[in-house]
Amino acid sequence: MAVLDIVNLRLYYKTLRGTVRAVERVSYRVEPGEALGIVGESGCGKTSMANAIMRTLPSNVEVYDGHVIVDGHDVVRMSEEEVRRKIRWRKVSMVFQGAMNALNPVIRVGLQVAEPLIIHEGMDKREALEIAREKLKLVGLPPEVSDRYPHELSGGMKQRVVIAMALVMNPKLVILDEPTSALDVSIQAQIMNLLKKLKREMGLSMIFITHDIALASDLSDRIAVMYAGQVVEIGSAEQVLLEPKHPYTQKLLAATPRLRADITPEFIPGAPPDLASPPQGCRFHPRCPYVMDRCRREEPPDFEVDGGRYVKCWLYGEEG
């Protein structure tokens, strides 16, 4: 059974500029032990989608529907209390973007890691701290870090603490939102190695959110590419990276500067649309080099292209 099954998820916000359609009918599954990379540029809805799974939503939500099935429960239809008791942190946890800089500066990190055990499991403090130290060890930190305050730790160590926090209640799925964006590349590589180890040794499922498709390839078994609130292509890492089908995926890969090759990077003219007034038809059509009449009028459905890969593009309509 899938660890997470998302069907037709929509999330709209109410703003002064009108309704912002941040997540528009997104569907996908995450299987046990699998890492799914979610790749997209800023404002494409990737963080909104993560918040929709965790139900950590702001107050200006206008539409929140579809299904988010975790362990037989539909998070969209549960009460807040139920989500808190049954799902959040216990089944699905999240490493929020910039969380390493949101640690409480006046509480020792061990206690911050142990806190959910004390609150949710009613454990006593000593027992909870023991588990916290185990989790810190798991993420490569010596046990004495437990007694340190956040300001005594380096950036890479703080990021490890935040990952330990997400693991403390043994969830099946961890959502990682840009877990390395605040770190230097050499520290980023250390954290990516840690995530690979956790995936391999604990059989953990992961959703890895990043703007960097090259970094996504470092961890992801499957990759979903988001554009303007929608998943435009999803498939295995091999399918998406080696034979990208959606014009946006192709262009995004071509725009990624290669360190080890003389292929000069390209760019996509124009900018992503405002999600308060997305273009009619395919949302990528104003920037697409292959645009056809139909793309301007009608939104493409998800076409299945060579087994298990879905592409939201009319180019693949006729052959399908």
Partner 1 sequence: MTDLLRLQDIKVYFRSRAGLFKTVEVKAVDGVSLSLGRGETLALVGESGCGKTTLARTSLRLIRPTSGRIIFDGADITHLPESELKWFRRKAQAIFQDPYSSIDPFMTVKQILEEPLILHKIGSREERMEMIARALEDVKLTPVEEFMGKYPHMLSGGQRQRVVIARALILRPEYIAADEPVSMIDASSRAEILYLMKELQERYGVGFLYITHDIATARHFSDRIAVMYLGKIVEMAEPRELIENPLHPYTQALIEAVPEPDPNNRFRERKVIPGEPPSPINPPPGCKFHPRCPYVMDRCRTEEPQLQEIKKGHLVACHLY
Q: Does 102 bind partner 1 (CB under 8 A)?
A: no
Binding track, positions 17-56, relative to partner 1; x by CB under 8 A:
------------------x-----xx--------------
Interaction of residue 205 with partner 1, rule CB under 8 A: no
CB of 153 to partner 1, least distance (A): 10
237 contacts partner 1 (rule: CB under 8 A): yes
Tell which residue, 191, 38, 166, has the closest CA to residue 92. 166
CB of 117 to partner 1, least distance (A): 29
**Do 174 and 95 meet the contact criterion of CB atoms below 8 Å apart?**
yes
**Number of residues engaging partner 1 in binding (CB under 8 A):** 52
In angstroms, give the least distance from the CB of 99 to partner 1: 18
* Interface of this chain with partner 1, residues 250 to 279, rule: CB under 8 A: 251-253, 255-262, 264-269, 271-272
Among 177, 218, 233, 302, interactor with partner 1 by CB under 8 A:
218
Question: Per rule CB under 8 A, is residue 187 in the interface with partner 1?
Answer: yes
* Binding residues for partner 1 (CB under 8 A): 35, 41-42, 154-156, 184-190, 192-193, 196-197, 211-221, 236-238, 241-242, 251-253, 255-262, 264-269, 271-272
